[in-house]
Amino acid sequence: MIHLEVGGKRYPVAAGETVIGSAPDSAIILEGEGIRPRHAVVQGTAAGAAAIRSADPEGDLLINGVRLGADPTPVLHGDKIQIGGQELLAVDPSRVGHTKLYDSGAFTDLAPPPPAAKPAGGATGGRLVCLTDGREYSVGSEPLVFGREAGADVVVSGSDVSRHHAEIQTTEDGYVLVDLSVNGTHVNGQR
């Protein structure tokens, strides 16, 4: 079951409608400029899935930086929902756990030989596109963090993924992938 976290408090999204807004009868009450009385509706299913949609055309609703409309959009573990000046974090407790440790030496024979090095071209305002769901992540001046924890910029599930697994940093010479994990990070089959 998805939970929405805001201000250190978690709200479970049960089957049915969960209203987010400034009205006192909202299930999740948010205060601040630009927050409408009935701003957004999260529709939970009996299976634990959830989708969010705007409930007021005057209110801004963004998920991972993308503006949403009246059509429902799935809410996934690690999604960042912005309503007015408030940010809600989607957390699926079943996707959070402990990291399994693997011996990185056991995988060295699987790695292909390293390709010839290419000259770095510097940071160009890059972006990452997820091949499974099409979501885009901008690579800016701040590091882009990958990990299992819902607070990571890019949430990756798996028991071999650390809470803070890796990050992409911007340097004068381009982008650098920094491994923060215990199990190692592979890019195109290379560690």
Where exactly are the structural domains of the chain?
Answer: 3-94, 104-179
Q: At 16, give phi and psi (nearest 5°).
A: 110, -165
The CATH number of 104-179, from 3.40.50.720, 2.40.30.10, 2.60.40.10, 2.60.200.20, is 2.60.200.20
Contact between 63 and 50 under an 8 Å Cβ cutoff? The reply is no
| pTM of the complete model beyond 0.85 | no
Contact between 39 and 61 under an 8 Å Cβ cutoff? The reply is yes
Contact between 147 and 164 under an 8 Å Cβ cutoff? The reply is yes
Which two structure tokens, joined as six digits, stand for 149? 């924890």
Q: How far from 87 is each of 33, 44, 61, 84, 113, CA to CA, in Å?
A: 13, 19, 10, 8, 44
Kindly give the confidence (pLDDT) of every residue in the chain, 191 residues in length, as a single tens digit, with 9 standing for 90 and above: 889 999 889 999 999 999 999 999 999 999 989 999 999 999 998 888 899 999 998 889 998 888 887 888 888 888 899 998 899 999 887 766 554 555 555 545 545 556 655 555 555 667 787 776 667 788 888 888 998 888 888 888 787 888 889 998 888 878 888 888 888 887 777 77
Given this chain, do its domains 3-94 and 104-179 carry the same CATH topology? Answer: yes
- DSSP string over 166-177: EEEEEETTEEEE
CATH, domain range 3-94: 2.60.200.20
Strand partners, 170: 175
